[in-house]
Structure 1
């Protein structure tokens, strides 16, 4: 038998390439299966909640209400930073004036103004904490605090409300938006 250095190496390379191809195919299969959406669970239809039902809704009930829809344009409010009672009073007064004090929040974005990011975001988070603890219609809504450059002392609160119990997702007439 004569030794041929080129032939034995070619067979091994082809064999390794085949295994590499099989491994990559398996990896693509795992990725594809992992990216499939979870299957929808069959849920019996729920009757539309009344306003009194949503006022006392538990987090699981709030999730059912959230499936009805969300107002896509935020209502914007501005409060001056200060004590929790002061912030709560200012915000509640503005909610009443806009005619949305009976609405449930879907989610809330707060923007604390300050020359530096740290204090501005901290002010926004404090306002979010006051809203969470003291206002039941805002308790289960996700909230995020952000910084907006400017002089210290104000927090703009953008509230995306849930649809009304009858499914209305129109922008509330008494609200103003930071988009305007």
Structure 2
């Protein structure tokens, strides 16, 4: 026995619902696309009368990029004063004492993970308290196997004020040791 053919009203309703579903999905995609734009692009693109469209190029702030290769420093663990002195000397020697850190990865050397990571975290807190250019940079502590007593600090610096993201000339990178 054959089933009844679909009623014309039921077919019309299905097509109507499919159309509304398609329209809702397009509206959702539009909202997501607009929400993902940077704040500057969300504002009205047309300038208001009497206001300049943009500042002259010489006064526009440079976008802050990140130097993609880390500058590596090694300090011996100890008191906060000793660690800060070692780190400060190395920063000045590399010519990056006034550069702002984008983020910092520290690797505490120890035979076991617990003490190594604790040493790295302790050095990170010493850096935060002693160097204003490192205060707001995210820092993470990790363990590196080996004898205790040293922490390697990999610093990813932000671009200079003029937007230069090249690797600082006075720096050494742990990436070079691979």
Q: Same fold (TM over 0.5)?
A: yes
How many angstroms apart in 2 are the aligned matches of 1:43 and 1:69?
Answer: 21
Q: 1:39 to 1:83 in 2, by over 3 A?
A: same
Partner of 1:53: none
Partner of 2:136: 140
Cα distance, 1:131 vs structure 2: 0.6
What is the correspondence of 1:107-146 to structure 2 with a 5 Å cutoff? 107-146=103-142
Residue 106 of structure 2: SS of its match in structure 1? strand
How many angstroms apart in 2 are the aligned matches of 1:146 and 1:32?
Answer: 42
Cα distance, 1:44 vs structure 2: 6.4
Partner of 2:153: 157
How many residue pairs align between the two structures? 161
How many angstroms apart in 2 are the aligned matches of 1:33 and 1:134?
Answer: 45
State yes or no: 1:168 paired with 2:164: yes
Residue 179 of structure 1: SS of its match in structure 2? helix
| Structure 1: gaps (5+ residues) | 1-6, 8-18, 49-63
With the length of structure 2 as denominator, give the TM-score of the two structures: 0.69
More displaced stretch, 81-90 vs 100-109: 100-109
More displaced stretch, 70-79 vs 28-37: 28-37
* Structure 1 segments of 4+ aligned residues over 6 angstroms from their partners: 25-29, 42-46
Cα distance, 1:40 vs structure 2: 3.6
RMSD of equivalent CA atoms: 3.4
With the length of structure 1 as denominator, give the TM-score of the two structures: 0.68
Cα distance, 1:150 vs structure 2: 1.5
Cα distance, 1:28 vs structure 2: 10
CA deviations over 1:75-128 (Å, ceiling 9, x no partner):
000001110001001000111111111211111111111122221111111111
CA deviations over 1:32-77 (Å, ceiling 9, x no partner):
85574555459968946xxxxxxxxxxxxxxx77x32221111000
